[in-house]
């Protein structure tokens, strides 16, 4: 049975559970150390004190996800958390992370994905808690059976004996009967064994109503009961198979039941710290996810599991209402030096040596960034493109061109995106629109082949035209030019 639950645990774990975190860049060397060293952030104190919730807020592109990744993996976080709790506490420290991604799959953006992530992290750390899956899985199976009006074997046996006027089974007899079917998984053999066992039990009681054997004919209550049990067993086998293959659509309530069972387990003392990134990218009502955070960390006083939560998200009003009084900080107030260092590190990586015309612009870029790293990255790409394509014999003009480019760029990120779109040549505008629509609406990773096929048929007017264009498409040749074409569609950003 435990082996089956291991399979179920593995089926609960999505292959994309940690994908979003893996896609987030590592922080630039020498950045983010202030989160521990600057007392005004309150983060170090929070790790030590055992407060409930800590909120890292900031504008889009301000580095929240990169900081959350840094915090989760930094050894100082683990060290400070180890000191959390009363002296002599034997509670085991456990860190769990989840990174929401609004353009990702269901496992990355839905509440069910968060629940599955927390559940599988706990079960991987504490395999002995797999026993908690048993009652929860049995409840789900019972719900399915009840929905189909099949009842349960125990109730039907009791009704059968009552209808025949026979004395009800003793507890040990009933237990043996219920186990009879489970020990014979083969459908026909199990049915025969169950029928024989029932006949034997009835024979012992010599029921007064009618002959003890003939009453159990092919169309009597016994047959109906056996038929129902066969259908129940088919449902059970199908249910377990779907769980193990990942084909079962876990209901939110079922997942919450499993999580509650894991958190309320009474044999382990655990201090769990959840790190949840991009709460604003959760695909659902913000009020709901905010309420869940409050619910999960509000443990009973006698609970052997304590939970704290560090999350990041935009400064939305709904989060302000729920978490405005909790400790936290605005990330953009602390990242000016980080942005300067990021610029210098990026220049060193791309253009080793002394490139003063570019380095001289670092203070200007840092001042205009207003804490938005994504804006800085886009600016540096524009500036780097000028340096890379600048003729060596005109080196004296490089500083002027770089400054002119920087001055022409908008300060706001949204306006910058509009500038990128405006750079796309008219010839490629339709293709750019198609690519952006596909990528923004995709619920899973899109292959380059699929993008090229979509581009090929995007202007088709009939099904025959679609087939003709696909037949004409030579993917082998197209893949060779795909990179340069997609770069053109994106305004030359690689």
Instruction: Report how far residue 304's alpha carbon sits from residue 428's, in angstroms, rounded to the nearest whole number.
Output: 60
The C-alpha atoms of residue 280 and residue 291 are separated, in whole angstroms, by 14
* Helix (H/G/I), strand (E/B), else coil: 297: helix
- Please spell the DSSP secondary structure of 108-152, one letter per residue: HHSHHHHHHHHHHHHHHH-GGGGGGHHHHHHHHHHHHHHHTT---
Give the 3-state secondary structure of residue 444: coil
Give the C-alpha distances (Å, rounded to integers) separating 185 from 6, 99, 188, 189, 193: 20, 42, 9, 8, 11
Please, which residues bridge with residue 274 across strands? 96, 309
pLDDT digits (tens, 9 = 90+) for 377-432: 999 999 999 998 887 656 678 899 999 999 999 999 999 999 988 888 888 889 88
**Cβ-based burial of 51 (10 A; exposed 0-12, middle 13-18, buried ≥19):** middle
Q: What is the SS3 assignment for 313? A: strand
pLDDT score, position 121: 92
CA distances from 22 to 17, 309, 356 (A): 10, 21, 34
- How far apart (Å, rounded) are the C-alpha atoms in residues 494 and 484? 9
Token pair 């593995």 in the structure block, residue: 10
Q: Quote the CA–CA distance of 64 and 334 in Å, as a whole number.
A: 12
**pLDDT (tens digit, 0 to 9) for every residue of the chain, 494 residues total?**
444 466 566 667 777 888 899 999 999 999 999 999 999 999 999 999 867 899 999 999 999 999 999 999 999 999 998 876 554 556 788 999 999 998 888 889 999 999 999 999 998 898 888 877 777 777 777 777 777 777 777 777 777 777 777 777 777 777 777 666 555 555 556 667 777 777 777 777 655 554 444 444 444 666 777 777 777 777 777 766 665 555 556 778 888 888 988 888 877 888 899 999 999 999 999 999 999 999 998 877 778 888 999 999 999 999 999 999 999 999 999 999 999 999 999 999 998 877 888 999 999 999 999 999 999 999 999 999 999 888 765 667 889 999 999 999 999 999 999 998 888 888 888 988 888 888 877 767 778 888 888 888 888 889 988 888 888 877 655 555 655 555 554 544 44
CB count in 10 Å sphere of residue 322: 19
Q: What does the pLDDT read at residue 101?
A: 93
Q: Which tokens belong to 360?
A: 């001289």
Rounded CA-CA distance 311/299 in Å is 18
Euclidean distance between CA atoms 406 and 220, whole angstroms:
88
pTM of the complete model? 0.76
374-379, long-range: CB < 8 A, 24+ apart: 374/60, 374/61, 374/413, 375/61, 375/411, 375/413, 375/416, 376/339, 376/342, 376/343, 378/416, 378/420, 378/493, 379/406, 379/409
pLDDT of residue 214: 46
> Hunting for tokens 């309320």 — which residue is that?
264
* Residue pair 455/470 in contact by the 8 Å Cβ criterion: no
């Amino acid at each position: 049975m435990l082996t089956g639950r291991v399979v179920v645990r593995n089926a609960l774990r999505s292959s994309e559970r940690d994908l979003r975190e893996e896609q987030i860049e590592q922080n630039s060397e020498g950045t983010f150390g202030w989160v521990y060293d600057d007392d005004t952030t309150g983060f170090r104190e929070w790790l030590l004190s055992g407060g409930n919730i800590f909120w890292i807020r900031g504008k889009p592109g301000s580095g929240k996800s990169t900081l959350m990744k840094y915090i989760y993996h930094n050894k100082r976080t683990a060290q400070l958390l180890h000191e959390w709790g009363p002296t002599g506490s034997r509670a085991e420290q456990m860190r769990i992370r989840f990174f929401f991604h609004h353009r990702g799959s269901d496992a990355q953006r839905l509440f069910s994905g968060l629940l599955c992530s927390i559940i599988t992290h706990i079960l991987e750390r504490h395999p002995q808690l797999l026993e908690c899956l048993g009652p929860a899985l049995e409840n789900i199976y019972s719900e399915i059976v009840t929905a189909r009006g099949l009842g349960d074997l125990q109730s039907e046996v009791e009704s059968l004996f009552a209808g025949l006027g026979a004395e009800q089974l003793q507890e040990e007899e009933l237990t043996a009967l219920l186990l009879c079917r489970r020990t014979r998984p083969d459908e026909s053999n199990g049915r025969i064994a169950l029928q024989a066992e029932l006949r034997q039990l009835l024979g012992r009681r010599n029921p007064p109503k009618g002959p003890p054997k003939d009453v159990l004919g092919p169309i009597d209550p016994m047959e109906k009961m056996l038929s129902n049990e066969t259908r129940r067993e088919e449902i059970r086998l199908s249910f377990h198979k779907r769980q193990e293959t990942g084909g079962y659509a876990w209901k939110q309530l079922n997942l919450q039941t499993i999580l509650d069972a894991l958190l309320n387990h009474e044999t382990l003392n655990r201090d769990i710290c959840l790190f949840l990134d991009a709460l604003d990218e959760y695909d659902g009502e913000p009020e709901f996810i905010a309420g869940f955070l409050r619910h999960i960390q509000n443990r009973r006083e006698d609970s052997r599991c304590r939970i704290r939560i560090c999350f990041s998200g935009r400064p939305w009003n709904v989060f302000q209402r729920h978490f405005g009084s909790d400790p936290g900080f605005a990330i953009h107030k602390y990242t000016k030096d980080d942005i300067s260092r990021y610029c210098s590190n990026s220049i060193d990586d791309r253009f080793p040596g002394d490139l003063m015309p570019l380095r001289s612009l670092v203070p200007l870029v840092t001042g205009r960034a207003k804490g938005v790293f994504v804006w800085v990255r886009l600016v540096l790409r524009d500036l780097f493109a000028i340096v890379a394509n600048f003729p060596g014999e005109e080196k004296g003009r490089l500083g002027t061109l770089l400054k002119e480019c920087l001055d022409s760029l908008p300060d706001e990120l949204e306006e910058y995106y509009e500038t990128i779109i405006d750079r796309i040549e008219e010839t490629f505008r339709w293709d750019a629109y198609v690519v952006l629509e596909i990528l923004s609406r995709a619920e899973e990773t899109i292959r380059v082949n699929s993008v090229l096929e979509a581009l090929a048929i995007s202007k088709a007017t009939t099904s025959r035209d679609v087939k003709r264009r696909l037949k004409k498409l030579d993917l082998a040749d197209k893949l060779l030019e795909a990179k340069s074409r997609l770069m053109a569609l994106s305004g030359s950003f690689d």
